[in-house]
Structure 1
């Protein structure tokens, strides 16, 4: 059974089902309970494969180059902050920092919940699991990163918003490159939480389905 589950054909089918069919199913006209069930079954399957097949152990990697990480992350964060602020200022100025102005307590609570219950599971699936499980299926690693980012964007298809798809694709590229360089779920989760938290803070919360 294990040999079957590690075969190239099996993993290609698995990748298509988990990362294409499941996200697409969430925009179909089916009941919400069915959608939740599909999502939960997919997530449980990934956890089982992570533990039983890939033997992935979750721990904070030793020997992290924190100075380099924070330097690169800060430069990217500044660029993201400037671009997203200017766009919102030009297109929807009334939304600028709306969540802080409305209720800062909701803002603080959501940032904490978002980091632990949204960001970390996403990075566990789309970086830790995805890289371990499928990276050797791609001879071209640039293509692999591109595919990872594209499928990460597809996971947000249920928002049915072109801008969200673009933002998550760019984010997917950044996160994939960080994970490719560091091999650290912890670091890429920090980066994801920073960028996602900023988008919520600056005023993209309603578009991303966050409480405002």
Structure 2
């Protein structure tokens, strides 16, 4: 039996998952601990979602037959255009580094990123965020989407890079729109997956590599 949690408990959970955990990870833990800590937080998020009253895992499949492919393509093209400009302005030596120097790694990223990264991130930051903590969110879909994108960007604070913050905030807006407005979780996952692979292919993966993290203190 799933017990409805109190508002205070929800607030504590929300703060711990979406604020305290990313700050602690970014400020106190070494870069080598980033991914084990992220997996632990993700696991906690999946457990909390499973225990959310009224939630059923099968509902994540809703919308798979009505993905807005035109929207997905438009966002992919926008990601490619913006990503090209960013990599040329900030890291031109990394442009198309993976396709040119290590295409096998790029293929591995394309195969595993959607399942090992995009999908768990989307589960935690979309269904968990909106379903379990909906009572804590501000009124209005626009305010909720903005808050969701801000939290998604904060989760990437560990990279200490304004480019990562800007890209994840923009991505968070697009992914949250698919889930919150269109009610389409599969579309959010597909869009996230394609955008991520495009950024890695362009060479922006250099900003998402823990070995390159430089804390400002």
TM-score normalised by length of structure 1: 0.87
Q: Does structure 2 retain, via aligned residues, the 8 Å contact 1:96–1:202? A: yes
Instruction: State whether structure 2 residue 68 is matched by structure 1 residue 61.
Output: no
Greater shift in the superposed pair: 197-206 or 56-65: 56-65
| Per-residue deviation, residues 10-62 of structure 1 (Å, max 9, x unmatched) | 21221111100000010233467976675455333322222223342223215
In structure 1, runs of 5+ residues without a counterpart are none
Which residue does 1:25 correspond to in 2? 24
1:119–1:107: structure 2 CA closer, same or farther, 3 Å change rule? Answer: same
Which string of whole-angstrom CA distances, capped at 9 and with x for unpartnered residues, describes residues 95-126 of structure 1?
Answer: 11111111111110122121111110000100
Q: Distance in 2 between matches of 1:49 and 1:182?
A: 24
Taking structure 1 as reference, are residues 125 and 28 closer, same or farther at Cα in structure 2, changes over 3 Å only? same
Alpha-carbon distance in 2 for matches of 1:2, 1:76:
39
Q: 1:140 to 1:164 in 2, by over 3 A?
A: same
CA distance in 1, matches of 2:17, 2:191: 24
Instruction: Tell me which residue corresponds to 1:207.
Output: 207
2:97 match = 98
Aligned residue runs from structure 1 range 104-123, under 5 A: 104-123=103-122
Q: Which residue of 1 aligns with 2:87?
A: 88
- Measure, in 2, the Cα distance between the counterparts of 1:119 and 1:36: 14
Deviations 1:78-105 (A, max 9, x none): 1221122123224432211111111111
Q: Aligned equivalents of 2:27 and 2:151: distance in 1?
A: 18
CA RMSD of aligned residues (A): 2.4
Higher relative contact order (CA 8 A, sep 6+): 2
Q: Which residue does 2:11 correspond to in 1?
A: 12
Aligned length: 207
Alignment of 1:117-136 (within 5 A): 117-136=116-135
Retained in 1: the 8 A contact 2:22–2:158? yes
